[in-house]
Structure 1
């Protein structure tokens, strides 16, 4: 259950269409021709034209990068009525997650998460995790999750700046919280039919823009 690229699936639906770079280049060249004509008529405006063209070129790259993150959504074919996801059972014992994290303007980064969980006397799941993200140093984090209603859980995360909200519907668990730095996170974990593996998809936003996506497979290693 990583707190941080979605790059598949045929079952994924696009939230925002990704504009092909070829279309952006066509617009860029059209503007370039327009600015050259203006520069010939008014040589004093030539520098301003080049400045505008450069800004538009940078904008094209940024739009394409943003679209690469925003164009992926949660796969629709993974949800099922059973088995019902119980995080206090699935994350008790040892778990391992492996996936890829994609941030805007960055190449996909491998992520490995080792977890060790147990349920204390109060019925709270205490999950300790070690996270390896690419070449970054190992970091640790802690989850505390407890049942507060039918298929409703509450908890805390050492990486979060506020409470963690969790709801379960069939085999899908939805986790929402805000990471340190003001990044709202929505995490969708789908329990497989075997009850011992799960698909984790995490969407990270900033100012309403999706800035990172994580696609991870979690395996339950031991009870």
Structure 2
């Protein structure tokens, strides 16, 4: 086999693998019949807490954090006030303004979100998509979040986010959110 044929074969194999990988990503439709059913207005009401980790592209935990949240709704408009405390002492606030558009569709805005976050809920899952200015080591990066929430029980959500830059997942965030009595 000539060098050119090897390169062509490699390119064809790489495209086939990438094509298969793109077909296998999860869809919100996969969760349509799952229970318990996530009602965002019911879950995100009152006081909540969360604990989470940030992992880099290799899976190494680079940060740990805790979050306290106050959430409220008036009709279809929600506010989720998040207060982060990281293991290095950094503190951060994010205040989400969520609109329930009906039929499991949501929009959200926050101070560091670029444009409008879009969300869709089916069964026990909610998938958010948004772009964000992320500050890392005093540098700012525009990244995309593929953000999934899964209702485990009436008091617990597991949240997993892929942080994507140039189409590549560069980090992941995982947190467990708990409703407080």
Counterpart of 2:12 in structure 1 is none
Distance 2:150 2:34 in 1: 11
- Relative to the length of structure 2, the TM-score reads 0.73
Distance 1:148 1:89 in 2: 15
Residue 129 in 1 paired to residue 89 in 2? no
Counterpart of 2:39 in structure 1 is 86
In structure 2, list runs of 5 or more residues that go unmatched: 1-24, 134-140
Distance 2:108 2:98 in 1: 4
Match of 1:201 among 160, 163, 167: 160
SS in 2 for 1:143: strand
Residue 186 in 1 paired to residue 140 in 2? no
Superposed CA offset, 1:77-112 (max 9, x none) = x95622211111111111111121112476431121
Distance 1:154 1:107 in 2: 30
Distance 2:115 2:89 in 1: 25
Counterpart of 1:143 in structure 2 is 96
- Paired residues, what number? 145
Greater than 6 Å deviation, 4+ residue runs = none
Distance 2:42 2:111 in 1: 21
More helix by share: 1
RMSD: 2.0
Distance 1:133 1:169 in 2: 31
In structure 1, list runs of 5 or more residues that go unmatched: 1-72
Distance 1:138 1:117 in 2: 19
Superposed CA offset, 1:167-199 (max 9, x none) = 00100010110011320001100001x311011
